[in-house]
Amino acid sequence: MSEHQVPSRLVFRIPAIAALAALLFAVGATPVAFAAPGLAAIYLVPLAAVVWVLRVRTTADADGLRVRQVFTSRALPWSALKSLRLTKRAGVRAVLDDDTEVALPSVRVRHLPALALVSGGRLDDPTAAPTEDEAPAAE
């Protein structure tokens, strides 16, 4: 019986294949882009989409979370996290000690067990069965 290996780092991001949609948009926009002067600026839309797909991510490791947006990046050590808040659309936001919230791009509710595993016990796994100590006593 082998033990499960805990990954040292998890990266949550949009699959890179999503950039293909932006490139297909660029091909489809080519007739419009050359229809009149100045319409070539329409190519900025797929370029921005490709940059967004390749840049935005959340990385979790033993030190904490690293949230990367298109233009900014922020490190969130595990000690600065108060809790996680679930959004209506199955997204996850980190609640910091000062009650500010930071969106965790590409992290969904289904990722919480993996996030708890990488955190080294700093976050609780919501899907884990309660232990005998935590189970309610039968009367």
Q: If we measure between CA atoms, which residue out of 72, 54, 58, 74 comes closest to residue 115?
A: 58
Backbone phi, then psi, for 102, in 5-degree steps? -125, 125
Q: What would the two tokens of residue 53 be?
A: 């797909």
- All structural domains of the chain: 9-118 (2.30.29)
**pLDDT tens-place string over residues 36-73:** 889 999 999 999 999 999 999 999 999 999 999 999 99
pLDDT score at 7: 80
Please give the mean pLDDT across all residues of the chain: 88
SS3 per-residue string spanning 66-79? EEECCCCEEEEEHH
**pLDDT tens-place string over residues 75-94:** 999 999 998 999 898 899 99
109-138 average pLDDT score: 76
Backbone phi, then psi, for 76, in 5-degree steps? -125, 100
Q: Residue 106: which pLDDT band, with cuts at 50, 70 and 90?
A: very high
pLDDT score at 20: 95
More confident residue, 139 or 43: 43
pLDDT score at 56: 96
